[in-house]
């Protein structure tokens, strides 16, 4: 069973709406990145299933998070099958993120009380995801659909909660566009973790950047 139940996880995303999306096969580096994000105020971390060592790294960082980042939820992304979902849920995943919608994955997550964020890029896909039980739908790729798409779908589906991934930049301008459009949360990947930062190991700099971005998002939330 997940450490964070779905209702708590969904509220966690609303309260701390910036989610790192990260993969690296170096366990030590990944731990440092996670701790820097946590120290900066992030409370949900998506590790992606994008390499041969994904399960090995995930299994190593889970106990690290529980000991050193007790208020952080650890999720697994890039999941396509129920078998993959089961493997990572057994390893401790608090939430499962997909680039697509697989009903079997949704059913398995719901049956095991694990938050499920399926990926969608059309209104029909979004509606299907909600009908299958998703309380928050991942909009992907964000750089293709744009903030205008999110704002438009809020018309026929005003209560829809979405997390956008892809095309979200760690800048005030980008965050303002997305949160003004009505997103609940955003996922940020390579732009938050440029190669230069990984090479220099300036994790304090990452923490400071994250803290500033979260503070800015709070100002956007109060303006709604």
Determine the pLDDT at residue 173: 96
Per-residue pLDDT band for 134 (boundaries 50, 70, 90) equals very high
Q: Does the pLDDT at position 224 exceed 60? A: no
Domains belonging to the chain, first-starting first, are 6-215 (3.20.20.70)
Terminal-to-terminal C-alpha distance of the chain: 35
CA atoms within 13 A on the CB side of 47: 32
- DSSP-derived 3-state class of residue 83: helix
Determine the pLDDT at residue 221: 78
- 177-216 pLDDT, tens digit per residue, is 999 999 999 999 988 998 888 889 889 999 999 999 999 9
Round to whole Å and give the CA distance between 92 and 133: 21
Round to whole Å and give the CA distance between 187 and 170: 10
Helix ranges (H only) for 155-202 are 172-181, 195-200
Distances (CA, A) of 48 to 25, 52, 58, 110, 154: 11, 11, 9, 20, 28
Q: Dihedral of CA 94/48/190/146: which sign? A: negative
Beta strands in 85-197 (DSSP E): 95-97, 115-117, 119-120, 137-139, 162-165, 185-188
Per-residue pLDDT band for 3 (boundaries 50, 70, 90) equals confident
Q: What is the mean pLDDT of the chain?
A: 95
- For the whole model, what pTM was predicted? 0.96
Give which of 159, 112, 169 is closest to 137, Cα–Cα: 159
- State percent of the chain over pLDDT 70: 98
Per-residue pLDDT band for 23 (boundaries 50, 70, 90) equals very high
Distances (CA, A) of 203 to 34, 64, 200, 211: 10, 17, 9, 12
Determine the pLDDT at residue 1: 61
Determine the pLDDT at residue 198: 86
């Amino acid at each position: 069973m997940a450490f964070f139940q779905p209702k708590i996880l969904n509220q966690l995303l609303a309260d701390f709406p910036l989610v790192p999306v990260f993969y690296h096969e170096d366990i030590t580096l990944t731990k440092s990145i996670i701790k820097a994000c946590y120290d900066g105020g992030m409370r949900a971390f998506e590790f992606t299933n994008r390499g041969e060592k994904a399960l090995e790294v995930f299994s190593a960082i889970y106990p690290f998070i529980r000991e050193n980042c007790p208020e952080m939820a650890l999720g697994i992304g890039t999941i396509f099958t129920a078998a993959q979902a089961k493997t990572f849920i057994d390893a401790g995943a608090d939430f499962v993120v997909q680039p697509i919608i697989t009903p079997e994955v949704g059913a398995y997550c719901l049956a095991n009380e694990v938050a499920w964020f399926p990926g969608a890029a059309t209104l029909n896909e979004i509606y299907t995801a909600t009908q299958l039980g998703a309380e928050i739908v991942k909009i992907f790729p964000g750089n293709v659909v744009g903030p205008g798409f999110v704002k438009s779908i809020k018309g026929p589906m005003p209560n829809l909660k979405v997390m956008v991934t892809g095309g979200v930049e760690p800048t005030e301008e980008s965050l303002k566009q997305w949160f003004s459009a009505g997103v609940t949360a955003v996922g940020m990947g390579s732009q938050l973790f440029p190669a230069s930062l990984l090479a220099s190991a300036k994790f304090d700099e990452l923490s400071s950047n994250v803290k500033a971005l979260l503070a800015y998002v709070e100002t956007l939330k109060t303006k709604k």
